Amino acid sequence: MQRARLVVLRISADSPAAQLKFKQQHQLPYTLLADTDKKVADAYGVIKEKNMYGKKVKGIARTTFVIDGQGKIARVFENVKPEGHAEEVLAALQTQK
């Protein structure tokens, strides 16, 4: 039985330079992608109205997408909080087999 290959990508509106600094600072082993024009965020529907210091603004809602081997979205985690999220996604992947 062949084991499925896992690819982890992080996409944000930060510049490539900011992405590199973040990757080095946190010693991340995966690829970071810059979406400075927010075209990917818009395509995935994660630009939402948010409340920032009492003002309504448009921003990117932290979201995780699990995409299967056929390129289809298998699972979506919305309103993600960093603490414990990696474990949550890993558990979901293990039950999805």
pLDDT in tens, 18-64: 999 999 999 988 889 999 999 999 999 999 998 889 999 999 999 99
Q: How confident is the prediction for the chain on average, in pLDDT?
A: 88
Name 92's Cβ contacts closer than 8 Å, sequence gap at least 6.
66, 75, 77
Name 4's Cβ contacts closer than 8 Å, sequence gap at least 6.
69, 97
pTM, two decimal places: 0.80
For residue 14, is pLDDT > 90? yes
CB 32 within 8 A of CB 12: yes
* Structure confidence at residue 68 as a pLDDT band (50, 70, 90): confident
Please tell me the predicted confidence (pLDDT) of residue 61. Answer: 92
Token pair in block for residue 70: 């056929």
